[in-house]
């Protein structure tokens, strides 16, 4: 059984990202941040390569997807104009030199290439305070920062040389609250000795195999997540994920 695939298909937030991104993927794609790769398997098409800072994560990603992946840093190990699309889904907040990574993403894109980016919202948000009370501080998630305000993110993209085409926000308070409670349960189930530094959820195949009860909990919780997402759409709750599509500049004539 493909446990990570099953878990991905029962994640309201991951399915929302899939719907946002699936028709925007290009011919030559670079995914920055290999993570658990369940969503990557759903999206991968054409030429697809992943990159992450962690060697064991990269190896597992490559085995699971059957796609090449590289270990790198903010200075991307790829040539200018290598890709038509760069995906950076929930990765920028993990990076120390975030502006440098955005500039490098622009460098490796073809002129007019597309950046698909999602980040958590930052600022004085109630959900951040609740996570902190549960012991789910940003370091537990491996985040360098809680997130970005819309203004901060758009300003960074402009400074990096991108032209923003579309901005969407999703994932309301009730959905985020349920996810925080679910992550708290997972955090406790793993135990201190088995926790991976900087990751709140399973990433590698062995971690998924050892957490079959996580899939059972996910199945039980999924209807409640769907209900929370519906209520967030009806009620005036603030949204906590920012999705952006931006373009690298096209060459000027002459």
Q: What is the pLDDT of residues 90-135, one digit of tens each?
A: 999 999 999 999 999 999 999 999 999 999 999 899 999 999 999 8
How confident is the model at residue 9, as a pLDDT? 84
Q: Which residues, in sequence order, are CB contacts of 174 under 8 Å at separation 6+?
A: 228, 229, 231, 232, 235, 237
Q: Which residues, in sequence order, are CB contacts of 93 under 8 Å at separation 6+?
A: 119, 120, 143, 144, 145, 146, 147, 148
- Mean pLDDT in residue range 223-245: 93
Judged by average pLDDT, the poorest of 83-87, 129-133, 198-202 is 198-202
Q: How many other β-carbons are positioned within 10 Å of the β-carbon of residue 107?
A: 17
- Mean pLDDT in residue range 202-213: 58
Q: Maximum distance among all alpha carbons in the chain? A: 61
How confident is the model at residue 98, as a pLDDT? 95
Inter-residue long-range contacts of 56-63, CB under 8 Å, 24+ positions, other chains counted: 56/204, 57/203, 57/204, 58/34, 60/34, 60/203, 60/204, 60/205, 61/34, 61/35, 61/37, 63/205
- Architecture, CATH, for domain 3-247: 3-Layer(aba) Sandwich (3.40)
Which helix (H) or strand (E) element contains residue 70? strand 69-71
Per-residue confidence at 224, pLDDT binned at 50, 70, 90? Answer: very high
- Mean pLDDT in residue range 213-227: 81
SS3 for 54?
coil
Whether the per-residue pLDDT at 73 is higher than 80: the answer is yes
Whether the per-residue pLDDT at 226 is higher than 70: the answer is yes
| Token code pair at residue 32 | 């920055």
How far apart are the C-alpha atoms of 180 and 196, rounded to whole Å?
Answer: 17
pLDDT digits (tens, 9 = 90+) for 5-35: 777 888 899 999 999 999 999 999 999 998 7
SS3 for 73?
coil
Whether the per-residue pLDDT at 186 is higher than 60: the answer is yes
Main-chain phi, psi angles of 154, to 5 degrees? -65, -35
Whether the model clears a pTM of 0.85, i.e. scores above it, the answer is yes
SS3 for 145?
coil
Q: Do the beta carbons of residue 193 and residue 252 sit within 8 Å?
A: no
Q: If 0-12 CB within 10 Å is exposed, 13-18 middle and 19+ buried, where does residue 234 land? A: exposed
Structure-model confidence comparison of residues 198 and 187, the more confident one: 187
Q: Do the beta carbons of residue 147 and residue 120 sit within 8 Å?
A: yes
Averaged pLDDT of the chain: 87
pLDDT digits (tens, 9 = 90+) for 31-71: 999 877 889 999 999 999 999 998 988 998 999 899 999 99
How far apart are the C-alpha atoms of 193 and 188, rounded to whole Å?
Answer: 11
Angle, vertex CA 171, rays to CA 167 and CA 173, nearest 5: 130
How confident is the model at residue 193, as a pLDDT? 47
């Amino acid at each position: 059984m493909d446990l990570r695939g099953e878990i991905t298909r029962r994640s309201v937030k991951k399915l929302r990202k899939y719907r946002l991104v699936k028709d925007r993927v290009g011919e030559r794609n670079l995914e920055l941040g290999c993570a658990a790769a369940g969503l990557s398997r759903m999206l991968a098409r054409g030429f697809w390569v992943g990159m992450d800072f962690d060697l064991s994560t990269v190896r597992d990603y490559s085995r699971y997807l059957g796609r090449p992946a590289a270990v790198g840093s903010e200075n991307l190990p790829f040539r200018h104009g290598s890709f038509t699309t760069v995906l950076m889904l929930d990765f920028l907040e993990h990076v120390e030199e975030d502006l440098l990574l955005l500039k490098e993403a622009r460098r490796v894109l073809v002129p007019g290439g597309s950046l698909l980016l999602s980040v958590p919202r930052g600022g004085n948000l109630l959900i951040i305070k609740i996570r902190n009370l549960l012991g789910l501080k940003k370091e537990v998630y491996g985040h360098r920062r809680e997130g970005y305000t819309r203004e901060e993110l758009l300003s960074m993209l402009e400074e990096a040389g991108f032209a923003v085409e579309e901005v969407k926000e999703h994932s309301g308070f009730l959905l985020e609250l349920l996810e925080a409670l679910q992550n708290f349960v997972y955090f406790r189930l793993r135990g201190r000795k088995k926790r991976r530094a900087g990751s709140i959820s399973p990433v590698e195949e062995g971690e998924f195999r050892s957490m079959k009860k996580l899939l059972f909990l996910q199945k039980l919780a999924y209807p409640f997540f769907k209900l929370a997402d519906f209520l967030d759409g009806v009620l005036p709750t603030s949204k906590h994920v920012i999705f952006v599509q931006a373009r690298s500049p096209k060459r000027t004539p002459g």
